Structure 1
Amino acid sequence: MEIRDYEDVVTRLGALYEEVRGCEFYEEMFPDNECSGDSYEDYSHPNAIYLYRDMESGDAMRQRRRIMLEDTWEEDYLEYVEGNPLALCSGVAYRGRRNRLQDAQRMYALIFDLDGVGDGELSTLLRTRFGKPAEQIRSLPMPTYLVASGKGLHVYYLFDQPIDLYPSIKVQLKALKHDLTYKMWDWKGTSKIKSIQYQSIVQSFRMVGSVNEKYGNVVRAFQTGERVTLETMNEYVMDKKNRVLLDVRKMPGKTPIVVAKKKWPEWYQTRVVDGVPGMRRWDIAGKVNGKDPYALYHWFMQFAPQILVGHRYFYMMCCVIYASKCGVPYQKLREDLRKVFERLLLIEHDNNPLTERDMKSALKIYRRDFYNITLEDIERMTGLRLPRNKRNGRTREKHLQGARAIRDINNDNWRKGNGRPKGSGTAQAKVIEWRQQHPNGRKIDCERETGLSRPTVLKWWE
């Protein structure tokens, strides 16, 4: 985005609304942070957590994490946020001292990132979208704040009452945010960027008063409306199933533990009996043909040439997620991601350069938190449409049985000219003949009587 767009956005917002200083902005968003010295062992008082570039460390990439404390916030803001080239904060308060999704406890604001906004796009948003009736096409609630970030807008909805983030509520809020993101992002209407960018409910954004180092702009906030209720946000979703129901705190589809013990004994032993927390990596080596234990990871890396502007960073992040899922060593990931980064540099961009810092930032999520991220979420982040295994809920073995049956029905002479013939001396023929003679026979008996090895019998058993 050109620097002129940022200036036009700030000029229009400044003419219509009151600008808010960053220190007051976050005091308004998080009114009940702890004071220094407070300690609540029951996590009844979660706190906002922000990240900032440590300018004194001598490491240009080093970031530090800090809790936003009520009684020291003004001094902390001046020291760590104002003018900092990379200060980030989400709209969520966390238990403990880490800003991880599993530690997110209370949401104070739902924040949207809309790239590619100039004066024309902002005019469209203000005239035809924000604050219009919910039944109007592509209308949206009036935001509490609009923040000029340097290349677009950050749209803040501050809730009248913070929302407790039970696991099921997190899932519902994600659906609501994706629904409204799709509604907000209108190419050539509200954004100059064609490809929509979907983000997490705990995504951190450049803090008001900090500097966007890519463009040299100060991040500035303007109050455009009042706090909103969750009911208001629910009214504007396109699909009713994406509404957030606060009374639905139990995850849908939960299996009773007695039933789960029978259905998934391995899971029960690991998680319940042994008490092992967290998630496990995928056993890719045991589930794919060939000798590549990182086959799925290598498969995903090949999509780099298809990535569009606006998704380059998220694609690198998803490469790291696949590496986490597949147990790829960190050193190998670093070398591979370097090649991906160099390939992504060839993609045309709209004055939003991809930097070494973006690559190093993506590497920071190499951890177990992302083992179970869904394919749908990866598609939203990358803009890709990934192929599926169409088994309709069947296991691989059952799926192959059906495929072979259909093959034999459609062409009972399919093997002619394909591969080794069924001579009486082949291992396949021996297994088939033995099974015809022993319809209810066991594999072990087939091995003993034919003299074939176990792998050979398993190969031709079906």
Structure 2
Amino acid sequence: MLTLTDFLFEKFPETSPRDFYRDLFPSGFLERKGEYETGKYCAIAIQITKTKAKRYSVTDDLTVIDDLTACDDFCVLSPISYAGKSQKQSNARFMYALTIDLDDIRYDENGYPIGLQDLWYKMTDILKTSAAPYFSLPVPTYIVSSGHGLHLYYMFTKPIPLYKNVIEQLSKLRHELIRKIWNDDVTELWNNRQYESVTQSFRMVGTITKTGTRVRAFNTGGKVTLDYLNSFVAPEHRVTTFTYESTLSLEEAKEKYPDWYTKRIVEKRPRGTWTCKRDLYDWWKRRLSDVQEGHRYFAIMSLAIYARKSGISRDELEHDAYALIDFMEEKTSRENNHFTRADVTKALEAYNAEYQTFPRKDIEKLTGITIPPNKRNYRKQKEHMKYLNGLRKMRRDVLGEDEYKNNRRPFNSGIKKNIVQRWRADNPDGRKIDCERETGLSRPTVLKWWDVQ
């Protein structure tokens, strides 16, 4: 069997980790160690051990790169520079490369990576055919082999300033490129594409992979411009402007929106968000039984988002998340694609106020789980609450229901026990995961009553 690394090694020159990151962050673009420089920022590398995640500021000297590539821990880095040591999207300042993750490359019956060969064909040879406008793909600056997957790095000739409206446009562009690159000739997961955040971190070149080898980078092309990437997608998916959406200056905004100016500029509060009951968090935990192998990391990340949004403590979140490792590991079908404690530790970084407004549609794309919108039948919030209170009163006074009995428990324990036992009787060879999906019960409930007679 020819590995992805072997295929790339035969065709392209390999680049050392330091040279790769020097190309990504050219000399003079990042802040120098111990010096504040206006308009310059640091990249952020994260080292994940068995017990914690440690952040490092990557400065112009790149010494952190040398240190991390010499260790045997899971290490990630985003091709982004940030203000401060937090990877909040609001702190992102410049993008040095648009990067796309590509998993589960197709192999033929002889163990040849036919998917990688087809990918390169669509990036080069297909340009000579009449089908080029429809099927051709942009040539990346580097293809990085991360073990069983690839990272395509499109390094920019000049870093892209990450204003909010630019991030939104880059997300659309990247989404469309992923749709084209993750096709059925290239990957077995073409119908289950993974659309991560545009500021996603990636396993560092030179660090350890899940298979115990090292991540390796191969130079496949030159640096690119946004115009070049735009030429491969339809106009509605292109990045067209680099200006702020608002035309107001801060002084004009201060005069026109004094409350907003005081909260966001003077007091530096985060954007306002809805705070939900814990029902949302508990509902998402139940939905985790539907998550598929390629979406496990994002499912835990979303659990962290909903925990923050629902006022769940960090301790409770960590207890729940780490308890899910074995359950998520049961879904592993590919060799060396295990779900580990390091995956959970990294995903829990989303327990952050900045993620509270993470869009529902984006969570659907990342996790592969459908999230129905909260419907109010077009009533405003106050009208909707008035309607619900009236409904509760009617059920209490007319139907005699006790709304506080079994609060947050749709079934008592005896009923849940009977449901599990009845399902097992009807499905003697059934699996726990099938029982969860068909009954709607949670994983802990099924485990609790699985062997009870």
**Which bin holds the TM-score, normalised by the shorter protein?**
0.7 to 0.9
Where do residues 82-93 of structure 1 align in structure 2 (5 Å cutoff)?
82-93=70-81
More divergent stretch after superposition (123-132 vs 316-325)? 123-132
| Partner deviation per Cα, 1:69-104 (whole Å, 9 max, x = no partner) | 334x3x543332245432211111122333332111
Give the deviation of 1:340 after TM superposition.
3.8
Where do residues 159-178 of structure 1 align in structure 2 (5 Å cutoff)?
159-178=156-175
1:154 maps to which of 151, 163, 170: 151
Where do residues 215-254 of structure 1 align in structure 2 (5 Å cutoff)?
215-238=211-234, 240-250=235-245
Equivalent residue number for residue 104 of structure 2: 116
Where do residues 31-430 of structure 1 align in structure 2 (5 Å cutoff)?
31=26, 32-40=29-37, 42=38, 44-53=39-48, 60-71=50-61, 73=62, 75-117=63-105, 119-129=113-123, 132-133=126-127, 136-186=133-183, 188-193=184-189, 194-212=191-209, 214-238=210-234, 240-250=235-245, 268=260, 271=263, 275=267, 277-280=269-272, 282-284=274-276, 293-351=277-335, 352-391=337-376, 394-396=379-381, 420=398
8 Å contact 1:304–1:344 — kept in the other structure?
A: no
8 Å contact 2:166–2:241 — kept in the other structure?
A: yes
Equivalent-residue separation in structure 1 for 2:125 and 2:306 (angstroms): 40
Q: What is the Cα-based RMSD across aligned positions, in Å?
A: 3.4
Give the deviation of 1:168 after TM superposition.
1.1
Letter in 2 for 1:28: D
Q: Name stretches of at least 5 consecutive residues in structure 1 with no aligned partner.
A: 54-58, 285-292, 404-414, 422-462
Give the deviation of 1:283 after TM superposition.
3.2
8 Å contact 1:197–1:381 — kept in the other structure?
A: yes
8 Å contact 2:144–2:150 — kept in the other structure?
A: yes
More divergent stretch after superposition (309-318 vs 337-346)? 337-346
> 2:95 is paired with a residue of what secondary structure?
strand
Letter in 1 for 2:46: L
Q: Name stretches of at least 5 consecutive residues in structure 2 with no aligned partner.
A: 108-112, 389-393, 400-453
Equivalent-residue separation in structure 2 for 1:374 and 1:243 (angstroms): 21
8 Å contact 2:14–2:217 — kept in the other structure?
A: yes
Equivalent-residue separation in structure 1 for 2:365 and 2:331 (angstroms): 19
8 Å contact 1:280–1:371 — kept in the other structure?
A: no
Distance 1:79 1:11, change over 3 A: same
Equivalent-residue separation in structure 1 for 2:153 and 2:295 (angstroms): 22
Equivalent-residue separation in structure 1 for 2:304 and 2:174 (angstroms): 24
8 Å contact 2:140–2:220 — kept in the other structure?
A: yes
Equivalent-residue separation in structure 1 for 2:316 and 2:354 (angstroms): 20
Letter in 1 for 2:32: C
8 Å contact 2:176–2:233 — kept in the other structure?
A: yes
Equivalent-residue separation in structure 2 for 1:12 and 1:348 (angstroms): 26
More divergent stretch after superposition (129-138 vs 335-344)? 129-138
8 Å contact 1:36–1:70 — kept in the other structure?
A: yes
8 Å contact 1:320–1:363 — kept in the other structure?
A: yes
Give the deviation of 1:260 after TM superposition.
8.3
More divergent stretch after superposition (141-150 vs 274-283)? 274-283
Give the deviation of 1:60 after TM superposition.
3.4
Equivalent-residue separation in structure 1 for 2:156 and 2:368 (angstroms): 30
Q: Return the index of the structure with the highest Cα Rg.
A: 1
Normalised by the length of structure 2, the TM-score is 0.74
Equivalent residue number for residue 438 of structure 2: none
Equivalent-residue separation in structure 1 for 2:360 and 2:248 (angstroms): 19
8 Å contact 1:138–1:184 — kept in the other structure?
A: no
> 2:151 is paired with a residue of what secondary structure?
strand
Equivalent-residue separation in structure 2 for 1:268 and 1:77 (angstroms): 41
- Is the aligned partner of 1:28 residue 2:20? no
The sequence identity of aligned pairs, in percent, is: 30
Q: How many equivalent residue pairs?
A: 380
